[in-house]
Amino acid sequence: MTAGDSRAAGVVPGKPEVEQRWDPERYRRNASFVPEFGADVVALLAPRPGERILDLGCGDGVLTATLAAQASVVGVDQSAEQVAAAVARGLDARVVDGAYLPFAAEFDAVFSNAALHWMRAPDVVIDGVWRALKPGGRFVAECGGAGNIAQVLTALLATLARRGIDGRSTIPWYFPAVEDYRARLERRGFAVQTITLTPRPTLLPGALGDWLETFAESFLALVPAADRPAIKAEVENRARSHLFRDGIWTVDYVRLRFAATKPGGAKRNSEAA
């Protein structure tokens, strides 16, 4: 994509200097809630035997494996490390950037859990999903939506600002509002069946600092390694009164969840009159 293309594609401004790295072991330790919450999104997808499904942002494949028990699944993820973990589970997983989906009318459904907010060229991603789907195919996903992790981000940016660092241009996420994402889907031609934005406070298995290490590496990389423990401690102190209760950290997640269809093709039995 050129700069002109990326503006036309609605690329969300801000470019992390350091890309997020994914360590499957660290992810398993600190983020097991991600696939657990994804079970509801699988239920919304309602995969059927014989269907071919693309899991966009499959990560280490925990949730992909539940899809694969019900249908034929290809997982894609930008992280070679996460894809290797998914392949080790026996899955068909490939290293693919969500902005460059190489599929054409192959899938009955595209599924995505907790991944779209990392893809900051949403129109390009939606285009790729559209091309990947057969007529009548479904796009069912959940990601961080408007207001997601607001308290964490406020504490993080304030902590960096106290050291003279403006972290805003480092924000690697895109957290769309309902009307924003609905308009993008409809502009591409999708029929949107449902799209909702719901707060989902999420209990962490460990400390907020562990969450930062797992998910907010591009911010921590703005300071020397020796300063990172102090950064994590200061973010925790700033966020404590909002996010720490009874010995448990709770992150202020807000989820955008939607189901949309590419028109055409035969109706599923459940849709037939």
Q: Is 273 exposed, middle or buried (0-12, 13-18, 19+ CB in 10 A)?
A: exposed
* Residues in region 127-156 near ligand BEZ by CB under 6 A: 144, 148-149
Under 8 Å between Cβ of 149 and 253: yes
Please state whether beta strands 133-144 and 191-199 pair in parallel, antiparallel, or not at all (unpaired): unpaired
From residue 26, alpha-carbon distances to 21, 30, 82, 222 in Å are: 11, 6, 11, 21
Question: Structure tokens of 242?
Answer: 């909002």
| Min dist. Cβ of residue 12 to ligand BEZ (A) | 13
Pick the binder of ligand BEZ from 215, 219, 249, 258 (CB under 6 A). 215
CB nearer ligand BEZ, residue 70 or residue 202 = 202
CB nearer ligand BEZ, residue 24 or residue 137 = 24
Q: Which residues of 32-54 are buried (b: 16+ CB within 10 A; e: fewer)?
A: eebbebbeebbebbebeeebbbb
x/- binding map, residues 64-103, to ligand BEZ, per CB under 6 A?
----------------------------------------
Does the protein bind ligand BEZ through residue 219 (CB under 6 A)? Answer: no
CB nearer ligand BEZ, residue 114 or residue 195 = 114
| Min dist. Cβ of residue 89 to ligand BEZ (A) | 21
Nearest to 89 by CA among 107, 66, 112: 66
Pick the binder of ligand BEZ from 109, 114, 197, 235 (CB under 6 A). 114
CB nearer ligand BEZ, residue 78 or residue 148 = 148
Contacts with ligand BEZ by CB under 6 A lie at: 114, 117, 144, 148-149, 173, 215, 253
